[in-house]
Amino acid sequence: MRGEDNRSGSLFSYVDLEARVPAEHSLRAIREIVNQALADLSGEFQALYSHTGRPGIVPEKLLRALLLQAFYSIRSERRLMAELEFNLLYRWFVGLGIDDPVWDATVFCKNRDRLLAGDVATRFLATLLALPQVKRLLSTEHFSVDGTLIEAWASIKSFRPMAEDGGYDKPDDDTPPPPAGSASDGRNAERDFYGARWSNDTHRSTTDGDARLYRKGRGKEAKLSYLGHALMENRHGLVVDGLVSRATGEAERLAAEAMLLLRPDRQPITLGADKAYDAAEFVATCEAAQVTPHIARNQLGRRSNIDDDLAASEGYAMSQRVRKRIEEVFAWVKTVAGWRKTRHRGLARVGWQFSLALAAYNLIRLPKLLAAPS
């Protein structure tokens, strides 16, 4: 018998939201891990909020929502709130009931500075890795490091000469204004770049003052960018640390030094890296910190700083094979989590969101790793 095409919904629903999510859904395992990490951070969340006044949006729910944004490639926080309005799976993961109102997208703007001040993203990543079931998956001896270019949320037109007082040069008063309605009129006016010479020493972006003009390699175009850095353990390819820096020629090595020096235990380890890290000062820093530099040798018109005996060892060859897995991290962060181009401005905000994206990458990997036989 053919059923009726009824289009009016029921007034009441008697199915629990928990029952609507399949038992084998990957978000179940992820949510359990996330809740354990957030429970350990509860005391730090409490310190970020006042003891008086009207209760605000729970920070745990904000972080779960931002993780969903990375998992499902949601392009903006405004779109995230729109999806959260009707998507029952998203509501379940965040912790909202089926009848609970969804907060406004501007809540993220108001709370981001509070979470940024508490360095919550970095602490969340560290707490996640410190969970007993996750800690046993990590290598404590072998690591890899690399950096990736992240395009800034700023137009090349905003890159202008700096004045001596730290501001930006403006056209002379004698310069006639462009005709109304012309291509040179308005907020996004045209600029003639022909013959212009730009330098990070003399120019800054009026949109994002922390962005720097940088190019990936020879023959590539220069873009306003940041550099994202990640430290990966070699056993399962999980990220153990990460940060964002201004885009400079030495930024990758300086970031690697910072992450290595922040290690809680200074036991001997190995570090795989590409040719950009083959610099005498960086190799010396590694050796002083009990780090064996398994760095790809840069012998293009120069002498490598990596010893011949070390480069011929089996461990060196293994590190060079495994270190390429860090590109999988950057590929996921840029394509799935949407970090080919940052959605925020300023080094602190970009770094906070990048650390959260790295934590999201680990969370995507953990269910299968934890389910595999040890």
- Under a CB-based contact definition with an 8 Å cutoff, are residues 228 and 148 in contact? yes
Clarify whether residues 146 and 269 are in a common domain. yes
Domain count of the chain? Answer: 2
- pTM (two decimals): 0.89
Q: Give the pair of three-digit tokens for residue 114.
A: 């509070």
Rounded to whole angstroms, how far apart are CA atoms 369 and 371?
5
- Say what the pLDDT of residue 166 is: 58
Kindly state whether residues 94 and 149 are assigned to the same domain: no
Residues 145, 58, single domain; the answer is no
Domain that holds residue 78: 17-118
Q: Residues near 169 by Cβ (< 8 Å), separated by ≥ 6? A: 160, 161, 162, 163
Residue 23 lies in a domain: yes
- Asked if residue 240 and residue 147 are part of one domain, the reply reads yes
Contact 43, 127 (CB under 8 A): no
pLDDT tens-digit series, residues 159-202: 888 875 556 665 444 445 555 555 555 566 677 777 778 888 88
- 103 with 144, same domain? no
pLDDT of 49 reads 81
Residues 113 and 24 in one domain: yes
Task: Look at residue 260 and tell me if it is in a domain.
Answer: yes
- Residue 249's domain is classified under what CATH number? 3.30.420.10
Matching residue, tokens 């190995």 = 270
Question: Do 279 and 143 fall into the same domain?
Answer: yes
Q: What is the pLDDT of residue 357?
A: 95
105: nearest Cα among 57, 45, 53: 57
Whether 187 contacts 194, CB under 8 Å: no
- At 72 the pLDDT is 95
Q: What share of the chain is helix, strand, coil (3-state, %, to 5)?
A: 45, 15, 45
Please tell me whether residues 114 and 239 are part of one structural domain. Answer: no
Same domain, 23 and 103: yes
Six-digit token pair at 278?
């083959």
Residue stretches of the chain with pLDDT short of 70: 7-11, 164-189, 264, 374
Q: Are residues 28 and 91 in the same domain?
A: yes
- One domain for residues 114 and 251: no
* Residue 36 parent element (H or E): helix 26-40
Task: Supply the DSSP symbol for 265.
Answer: S
Within-domain flag for 331? yes
CB atoms within 10 A of CB 263: 17
Indicate the burial class of 147 (C-beta count within 10 angstroms; 0-12, 13-18, 19 or more): buried
Residue 180 lies in a domain: no
Structural domain includes residue 24: yes
pLDDT of residue 172: 42
CB 59 within 8 A of CB 356: no
Are 40 and 110 part of one and the same domain? yes
